[in-house]
A and B are shown apart, each in its own frame.
Chain A
Amino acid sequence: MTNYIPKTQHKRGQLFDSLFILFLVYVSLYIPLFLESDTKSADETTSAQVITWESLDVSPVEQEQWQKLGFDELAAAEIINDRFDYTIDPVMLIITALVIIGYFFFVLRISDRQYREVIAEKFGAASQANNEQGDAR
């Protein structure tokens, strides 16, 4: 079997390839900004009602700790009322699962094909190796 002779890459090509990967990284960092906000807050607005420690359902010990941290009831209310919403969109969940599974399937499959080339070049073709083992027996 003839060994594969890789192409030689010039400096300009090396620079281009490095910048291309960086470009991809930045694009993927910025994409979510153009999509809908990921984490929705269930109660983003603090209601206009008068806020007291009692209305925040905070125990005396909790109140004491909030105050040690430098928070009054108004400042604490902003944090206490900011809650996550874990509503699941089943369609997006299925799409996401398929993307992850599909990605690994693709990578493992192509890797296996490439790995066979590596092994064939390193150890010789599989049939040749089998023959050698047979002869040895």
Chain B
Amino acid sequence: MSQSTSTGGDQKRISMLKVLNPFHVWALGVGIVLVGEFMGWNFSVAKGGAYGALIACWVIGLLYSCVAMIDSEVTSTVAAAGGQYTQAKHIIGPLMAFNVGLYLVMAYTMLEAADALIVGDLMAAVASATGYADLNPQPFVVLTIAFLAWLNYRGVFMTLTVNFVITLFAFLAIIALFIGSDPLNPGNILKHSDLLTELPYGWIGVVAALQFGMWYYLGIEGTCQAAEEVRSAGRAIPLGTIGGILTLLVAATLTWYVSTGLMPWQYLGQATTPLYDAASIIGNPSLQIVLFIGTMFAAIASANGCINDAARAWFSMGRDRYMPTWFGAIHPHYRTPFRAIIFLIPIAVSFAFTGLLDQVITFSILSGLLGYTFMSFNMMRFRKMWPLDVIKRGYIHPFHPIPAFTLLALCSVVYFATFLGYGASLLSIMAFYIVASLWFVKRRYQFVKRGDQFTMPWPRPKGY
């Protein structure tokens, strides 16, 4: 059992349950992300053409490989809820931790809103196809979020076991689509030689494509949020995270290969459900049903994982008084951060109903990107302040500091890509984090107990 406290400074000391294994960690990470293969990644095709999207898939795959390596080392050592937030608290300092906590909550809550919208739209599409046109998708959005929040409230084991089953189904649906596209007979169903074109916007389009290339993998770092609830953090987090990134690399490559062999790049670049469309073109009704269910499951798994992660980040901030302490409570029976889970329900619903899906998604992507930028600083400081022989790590990533520098360089390029497509949103979101930081320094930090911010049994950091 973990030794974590129930609330920031309250009397009862209730811990979260340590019940998860590497498969749950895999289900959490891949579950959040896999919806990006079913929809979202293809906007990178609109930005830079089919080859531009493939280059984005690999370049961003490299970025996330760095993220997975760095995260696995730090999280296998800092095994506490809050993931990167808790890492920032121990390695960089309170203001960075506050920002990282906000990145996590915003990235996941906004992604959750987008996922719920997808479920609502799919239900409306099914209704329309079966003769019930004009079905209002909004009740399905609310129901999806409410049901998943209830699942999360009742316990992490069941939540992530459900995620494992539906994520595995969604992944197998992509494999089934690949097999159904007859890949061994090029030209029969897949027509790459006729549909693949040169780069429509040149290399600037490839750079622009990197922004939506994030969709292939966005959220895999969420595995860290399970650190306080796994039976063995040193084993489960690296296995689940690196297994997850490998799964996603395979899924992303197959997704690109099948989709670009079936659809003209201009259509693919704006398709709402590209994998379902791919199954429709193949004309196999069973495959269509599998892809429809796969798309639905992927969206539900993503929303489920997002609720799990956003609530744990918000809970951790409450426990440390970075946000109101009321949120830092664990349910006495279910051992879940129940107040944080409930508080974020109406917020996710309101994000879904703003009608600003573009901004909501950009906010989510950019919050993730800011978090990855932090990771590169974090890794450099972690190795410097506690060299390898000073504290025991569950996992040591190879080639340090190359992954940290590579990550920082790739993040810089993705900022530029975001500037090309969503310059005003980028500045607006940066303004949010700047104002929030000033607010933390001037107001919230007075409620923070300094010594309590360092809870790991480590020696004094070098240089301090």
Chain A residues in contact with chain B, CB under 8 A? 3-4, 6-9, 11, 13-15, 17-18, 20-22, 24-33, 35-36, 38-39, 58-59, 61-62, 65-66, 68-69, 71, 76, 79-80, 82-84, 86, 88-89, 92-93, 95-97, 99-100, 103-104, 106-108, 110-123, 126, 129
Contact = CB atoms under 8 A, between A and B. Distances in A.
Interface string B319-333: 001011110000000
A118 B93 contact: yes
A41 B379 CA distance: 41
A31 B46 CA distance: 25
B433 interface: yes
A116 B464 contact: yes
Contacts of A68: 280-281
B266 A29 contact: no
Contact of A14 (B200, B262, B277, B324): B324
Given A61-B191, A106-B437, 11 more contacts: A9-B321, A14-B324, A20-B439, A21-B436, A29-B354, A30-B359, A96-B430, A100-B415, A115-B92, A115-B464, A122-B454
Contacts of A18: 323-324, 343
A7 B325 CA distance: 12
Contacts of B326: 11, 14
B94 A118 contact: yes
Nearest to B205: A86
Interface residues of B, number: 81
Chain A facing B: main interface SS:
helix
Interface of B: 46-47, 88, 92-97, 99, 102, 106, 191, 194-195, 200-201, 204-205, 208, 262-264, 266-267, 270, 277, 280-281, 321, 323-326, 343, 347, 351, 354, 356, 359-360, 363, 373, 377, 415-416, 419-437, 439, 441, 443-451, 453-454, 460-461, 464
A65 B99 contact: no
Contact of A92 (B208, B351, B423): B423
B96 A93 contact: no
Contact of A96 (B88, B419, B421, B436): B419
Contacts of A110: 93, 95, 437, 441
Contacts of B415: 96-97, 100
